[in-house]
Amino acid sequence: MKSVALLDYGSGNLHSAQRALARVGADVTVTSDPKIALAADGLVVPGVGAFAACMEGLLEVKGDRLIGQRLAGGRPVLGICVGMQIMFDRGVEFGVEADGCGEWPGTVERLQAEVLPHMGWNTVRAPEKSVLFDGIDVDTRFYFVHSYAVQKWEMPVGDTIAAPLLTWADHGGDFLAAVENGPLSATQFHPEKSGDAGAELLKNWVESL
């Protein structure tokens, strides 16, 4: 059984995420203890609410350092919703800019849609060879709740490092729905609220640990 630490930093659907991960066979510990978070096979970083508030909570438990240490050692991390957004350089909400973890270049900005938040079920366009979406039908819908997202991928592609696998969705324009980049993966939607489809995605991630 794979051990998964669910990072508790004051922001996130901890109980629903814990249940969803346990459902697919993970041994889940909700924790802010750095030793447990570093030792687990996988670390999940949830996130609900505003970008700046999530970053404030993350910094209080030194979660940015935990994420960086794990990734430096090739140890898997999965960000969910705002937990995905804070992996980028910065977020801009209501004209206020806040720094993120900076694991990926890019800015989280308001979606260009007439109806916000983007709330409900939507399809995604996953790339070939995706681990997260392996075996999941192309017309499968996942559950989103957000008004902000990354709408442009800014990381340059080099010859020595495999290009990240990018999954896109549309709501008033394209935005990143998921990223798979070595040990760091993330989803803008909530797999823990996406029923069987979300369970299949989480199972794929847990089995890859």
Sheet holding 27-31, edge to edge: 27-31, 3-7, 42-45, 77-80, 184-187, 174-181, 165-170
What are the residue numbers of the active site? 81, 190, 192
Q: What is the pLDDT of residues 136-161, one digit of tens each?
A: 999 999 999 999 999 999 988 765 56
Instruction: Assess whether pLDDT exceeds 80 at residue 92.
Output: yes
**Residue 11: its pLDDT value, please?**
85
